[in-house]
């Protein structure tokens, strides 16, 4: 294992911003695994740390395939990690909305450009990401519909679902979109937590990445086959919006089956505790996403549901 400086930025009033990369094996740039771009992605940096630990052991045992190199970047945004802020701590901007970046742009744009330069030539790219809304997901692989996406490769992670998203204008500045534009087969992996460690879903994510690397011939590792992934178009997910504001209480866990008309949760009045709204399943299916923040506003997406095809 070699540790390199992927990107360094001088700072006037504090230590330099340093983004480190952990290299395993030698030869072709086969796979790059990227951790938090945002400062509250604790689960994501934990998953990367476990991958570094396992890949180090595999390399010592000669289990990295010849002429294959893997790089793990555990954290892209250490400044924000250190202070627990989601966005870049100096100017409160989102690095994941700055790609491919600009060497002569603002701070976060220069960081994005430096990282992009270091990772753009890898064949496969895996990012542990978080959603723009706080909540819990069923673990899945997500990718942009850029024309370069390959859902067959995404199936090789063996996670329950692969979600394909049609990019909106703001998405064209994300890492996943621009990585694909560099002809890297890029995948974003989502687990069910962000700002805290969930050991069970972290192990599932680690196993998924090792399974993918094994199936692509990059490492030699024995793992179970995982799931046969179901491919979803994000536009086909059913959004459930709140019609009132209050405290949201969920009755069903993500990943569980729901039946049409059964209560998924309720919104109560924060002053008198009365039930203001009962959230009911609009169809038979699976609860794919649920908001985590207890306080919701009128019109918020509180749940997303996968419609069961065979009723």
**CA dist., res. 37 & res. 293, Å (int):** 21
Q: What is the pLDDT of residue 311?
A: 46
Grouped pLDDT means (10 residues each) for the chain, 311 residues: 94 85 97 95 96 97 97 94 85 92 93 96 96 85 90 95 93 94 94 88 96 96 88 93 96 94 96 96 95 93 85 46
The total number of structural domains that make up the chain: 2
260 and 148 in one domain? no
Domain that holds residue 262: 237-307
Q: What is the pLDDT of residue 204?
A: 95
53 and 186 in one domain? yes
206 and 76 in one domain? yes
**CA dist., res. 171 & res. 178, Å (int):** 9
104 and 62 in one domain? yes
CB count within 10 Å of CB 290 equals: 24
136 and 65 in one domain? yes
257 and 224 in one domain? no
Q: What is the pLDDT of residue 13?
A: 73
**CA dist., res. 24 & res. 69, Å (int):** 6
Query: Model-level pTM?
Result: 0.92
Reading the block at residue 201, the tokens are 């879903």
Residue where one domain finishes, among candidates 196, 218, 233:
233
DSSP per position, 78-137 = HHHHHHT-SS-TTT---GGGSTT--TTS-HHHHHHHHHHHHHTT-SEEEEE---SS-EEE
CATH code for the domain in which residue 225 is found = 3.40.630.10
Residue where one domain finishes, among candidates 217, 233, 249:
233
Q: Go through the chain and tell me how many residues it has.
A: 311
Q: What is the pLDDT of residue 91?
A: 81
Residue where one domain finishes, among candidates 178, 204, 233:
233
198 and 296 in one domain? no
**CA dist., res. 70 & res. 31, Å (int):** 5
CATH code for the domain in which residue 270 is found = 2.40.50.100
**CA dist., res. 148 & res. 154, Å (int):** 12
265 and 135 in one domain? no
Q: What is the pLDDT of residue 309?
A: 57
130 and 75 in one domain? yes
Residue of 25, 30, 81 whose CA lies nearest to 55: 25
33 and 178 in one domain? yes
């Amino acid at each position: 294992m070699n540790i390199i400086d992927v990107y360094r930025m001088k700072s006037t009033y504090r230590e330099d911003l340093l983004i480190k990369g952990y290299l395993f094996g030698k030869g072709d740039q086969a796979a790059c695994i990227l951790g938090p771009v945002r400062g509250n992605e604790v689960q994501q940096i934990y998953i990367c740390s476990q991958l570094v630990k396992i890949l180090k052991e595999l390399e010592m045992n000669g289990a990295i395939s010849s002429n294959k190199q893997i790089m793990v970047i555990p954290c892209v945004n250490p400044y924000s990690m250190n202070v627990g802020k989601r966005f870049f701590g100096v100017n409160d901007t989102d690095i994941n909305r700055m790609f491919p970046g600009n060497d002569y742009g603002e701070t976060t744009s220069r960081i994005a450009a430096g990282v992009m330069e270091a990772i753009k030539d890898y064949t496969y790219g895996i990012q542990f990401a978080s959603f723009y809304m706080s909540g819990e997901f069923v673990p899945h692989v997500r990718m942009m519909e850029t024309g370069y996406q390959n859902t067959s490769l995404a199936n090789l992670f063996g996670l329950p679902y692969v979600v394909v998203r049609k990019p909106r204008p703001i998405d064209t500045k994300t890492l996943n979109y621009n990585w694909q534009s560099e002809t890297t087969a890029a995948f974003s992996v989502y687990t069910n937590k962000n700002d805290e460690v969930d050991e069970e879903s972290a192990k599932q994510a680690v196993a998924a990445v090792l399974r993918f690397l094994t199936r692509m011939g990059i490492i030699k590792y024995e793992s179970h086959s995982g799931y046969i992934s179901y491919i979803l178009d994000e536009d086909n997910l059913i959004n459930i919006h709140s019609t009132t504001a209050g405290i949201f209480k969920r009755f069903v866990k993500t990943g569980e089956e729901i039946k049409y008309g059964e209560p998924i949760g309720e919104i109560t009045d924060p002053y008198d505790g009365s039930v203001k709204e009962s959230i009911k399943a609009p169809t038979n299916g699976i609860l794919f996403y649920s908001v985590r923040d207890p306080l919701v506003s009128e019109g918020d997406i509180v749940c997303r549901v996968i419609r069961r095809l065979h009723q």
